Structures are given as C-alpha cells and as structure tokens.
Structure 1
Amino acid sequence: MRFLRLFVILVMAFGLAACGSKFRVYNGPEVTSVQVHKTDRKIYLLHNEKVLKVYDVALGFAPTGHKQFEGDGKTPEGAYFITHKNPNSEFHLSLGISYPNEADLAFAEAANKPPGGDIFIHGAPNQKVSRRDWTAGCIAVSDKQMEIVYSMIKPGTPIFILP
C-alpha cells in the first residue's frame, strides 16, 4: 500500500513538472519550409504549400533591406536553412539561421567589413512581441510561440526571408 501511494505521488510530481516545460512535443505534419515576410512582420511554418502556423514577428532594429554588415540592425533576406537548436538561448529558445552564406561573405569581404552573424529565430523578453523592431537582426516571437516553433522545426529546414 505504501509503495502504491509513493508511486502515485511520484507520477503526479513528474506530470506536474512536465506541464511547465519549455520543451513541447510536436507530432503533426513535417515543417518542410519556413517563410518570413519582413514587410508584413509574419513567419509562416509550411508543410509543402500548406500553412501550419503563422505568427507575428519582430525584426532587426533597422529592418528595411538585406543585412550586409555586422551591427547594421538589418534582418537578412534570401534563402538560408536552420542550422541548429539552442535550448540554452539568452532569449528562451532559439533556432540558428545559416547567415552569412557565401554571397553574404563575399559582399562584406569586398567592402572590407565583417558580415555579422548569430542570426536566430528566438523568443522575446517578458513574453511579449513588440510590433517595434528591436533585435540585432534576428526574428523574434513570444516565448510561448517559440516553444511551438522550436518543437516543429528541425535543423536543415529551409528558411526564406523575404522583403
């Protein structure tokens, strides 16, 4: 009887601990691509042509145009891919984006400037996404949305960042 009671208590404790986890499980259709529409401040998670999820985003503090150099505050534009998942992000959770690519590197090198890097999709401070653009060039959603995005997207997924 004591063993059964202890077992039930342990199961309940683990169940409650799992409720607060930032790591969700996704069992739906595979996300085959991601699109970010900078002008509309939207991110779309797609399975082929079908939109699975859409969220508002915040971008770099100077979002118009393609990121060219470190510190320019722009969010890149073009075709990239998700490089990795970062469960220990400064911004809750994050997904790495493959900026800079070879063309980005060549452009910055020709101007004798660093291209910048560390571009991510990540959560936002205080569980809010501001319509104001505040990142250093990243794409931000709320922390709760980031938990869903993080669970759905795998490294290697293409991401198309459009003007």
Structure 2
Amino acid sequence: MLAELVELVIGVDTHTDTHTAAVLAADTHAVLATVTVSADEDGYADLVALADAHGGLRGWAIEGTGGYGAGPARHLDQLGELIVELDRPVRPHAGPARNPTRSTPNVPPATRSPAPSWRSPRPGRNGPACRSCSPHAGPQSPRPATPNASCARW
C-alpha cells in the first residue's frame, strides 16, 4: 500500500477544468492541506509547490491518469515523482433505482460496487501517462533506484 512506502500521500481528484488535491500524513491519515488548481501547467506547478511546502517522502494517488489525470501524471512523471492511479468511483445509475418497484430487476451484490484496486497509470491519447509504468518500457527507459524517482509498478 502506498501509505506504507511514504510519509505524505497527495490525492488528486481530476476534472475537466480543475483538479482538487489533498495532502495527507501517511501515518495518521490527517489532512494537512487541500487546494483546487487549474488543469494546466500552472496548476500542476501549484500542486508540486503545495507538496514541497510539506516536505517528506511523498507519493501521488491520481484519479483517472488515462483521462483528466493524464496531464498532472505526465507533469509529475517528468519530475520523477512516485505515482499510482486510483480507480474512478462506481456511481449508481439514475434510472429506476431511484424509485424501486417490483419491475426493477435485482442486481446481485457482487456487481454493485467492486472492491477498489490499485494499478499503474493507464496510457492516455498521447501515449503512456508515465514512461516507467508503460508495459512496453524496455532497456531504453531504466527505472531509477530512488523511490521518488519513478512511478510505482503495482
């Protein structure tokens, strides 16, 4: 688990125009700071500045690195940050379930909400979000030895 490897976890909730981040102490789970930044290079720099202000070995947990999170994931990868991707939460459909009746089909519990899983950042439209997490990473992209120097392979 990421919290066992680092002192700080920075969780990033990604959206089209903005990203919201929270800095958490890995040992106590206390929220140390939160910020909402623009979804551009200036915003990504603000995320790094926020993390730098708290010091310590850190890891980034980013939602949707194959979509809205591809920009911050690429920016952080270029800086050698430790990155893991979080699955997007499963949201219920707004259909008949709002007002269930006898005609509403039963949904087996196993399909309601799958357990969260960790995985390496997915490639976006312009290639892998993180070079070292690419399944095609070969000898030309060696993994640095320091924990913050590359993405995590999960």
Normalising by structure 1, report the TM-score: 0.23
Tell me which of the two structures has the higher relative contact order, counting C-alpha pairs closer than 8 angstroms and 6 or more residues apart.
1
Normalising by structure 2, report the TM-score: 0.24
